[in-house]
Amino acid sequence: MSVMPVMEPSAARTVLRRRFLMCRPEHFAVTYAINPWMDPARGADAGKAVEQWEALRAAYLGLGHEVSLIDPIEGLPDMVFAANGALVVGGRVYGARFTHPERHAEGPAYAGWLKENGFADVLEAQHTNEGEGDFLTLDHVILAGTGFRTDLAAHQEAQEFLGRPVVTLRLVDPRFYHLDTALFPLGGGNVAYFPGAFSPGSRAVLERLFPDAVLASEEDAAVLGLNAVCDGRNVVINAEAAELIGTLRARGYEPVPVELSELRKAGGGPKCCTLELRS
Ligand code: ARG
């Protein structure tokens, strides 16, 4: 009988160098409410958001990743959430088509940047989808969220365009309105997630696909601890997600805590600010 190790060595985890696209939150504000985190009466401070965002960008650069920048557009306060701008897999771009009119103009802005920067193969989506907010790419499968933003039909559209199997997961808690607020890929075909964000059927799917997953508590999910970015070993994660940070460390990952409290006022965290460009 084998004994489970208490700690898994982080040296065993392999880092893959990533290419990210980000958008400095110069025009960040909370002027409308399209998720339960947003309160226009409370507002948000763009200066503080920029400061926190710069630290996130510096963390990626410090880990050896590449960060490209798209120019922020005045009047698009949520444009900082680059993850929603598209889904880029195998050099192909599945364009975003936003749910709310307040964010409609972001889809073409991101598609335009990608076209001008070497991604010629861009599909203008027929169906509503919010890019990597609801599509999380693993080696063999793309996990896709629905229930609040992205249409089920977009899951099929993305699968057909990208030629990757897309597995639908149903989100049921409005605080976790995008898949990337409830789950993140860890590399090596594993994920971390908060079970309470998913329908019973989707929870069963996750248990079957990822028997070894890292499960997060509601407390960690409620500080957007699952809106994290893992490069295979390092996990850039909201600093407040204390328990999850401890669990990840014990499982052989290197947590890199960041402070993004200002962006959380719009319902976003590290992953929301980060679009991965997969060639
Ligand atoms: N205020 C934005 C919205 O509700 C936040 C987007 C966060 N992005 C994400 N990838 N979860 O659309």
pLDDT digits (tens, 9 = 90+) for 177-191: 999 999 999 999 999
Ligand 1 atom having least distance to the Cα of 180:
11
For residue 11, report the distance from its CA to the centre of ligand 1, in Å. Answer: 34
| Kind of pairing between the strands at 214-215 and 190-193 | parallel
For residue 102, report the distance from its CA to the centre of ligand 1, in Å. Answer: 12
pLDDT surpassing 50 at residue 1: no
- Give the confidence band of 169 by pLDDT, cuts at 50, 70, 90: very high
For residue 266, report the distance from its CA to the centre of ligand 1, in Å. Answer: 7
* Domains defined for the chain, CATH in brackets: 15-276 (3.75.10.10)
Q: Are 253 and 233 in contact (CB under 8 A)?
A: yes
- Residue 257 CB burial class (10 angstroms; 0-12, 13-18, ≥19): middle
Best mutation site among 76, 84, 106, 150 for ligand 1, i.e. most ligand atoms within 8 A of its Cβ? 84
The residue whose CA is least distant from atom 9 of ligand 1 is 272
Q: How far apart are the C-alpha atoms of 237 and 228, rounded to whole Å?
A: 5
For residue 279, report the distance from its CA to the centre of ligand 1, in Å. Answer: 24
pLDDT digits (tens, 9 = 90+) for 45-63: 999 999 999 999 999 999 9
Structure tokens at 111: 């598609």
- Give the confidence band of 4 by pLDDT, cuts at 50, 70, 90: very low
Query: Mean pLDDT for the chain?
Result: 96
Strand, coil or helix: what is 111?
Answer: helix
Q: What is the largest CA-CA distance in the chain?
A: 62
What is the mean predicted confidence (pLDDT) over 125-130? 98
pLDDT surpassing 70 at residue 7: no
Active site residues: 178, 272
pLDDT digits (tens, 9 = 90+) for 184-237: 999 999 999 999 999 999 999 999 999 999 999 999 999 999 999 999 999 999
Residues with beta carbon inside 6 Å of ligand 1?
34-35, 38, 78, 81, 83-84, 133, 178, 180-181, 266-268, 272
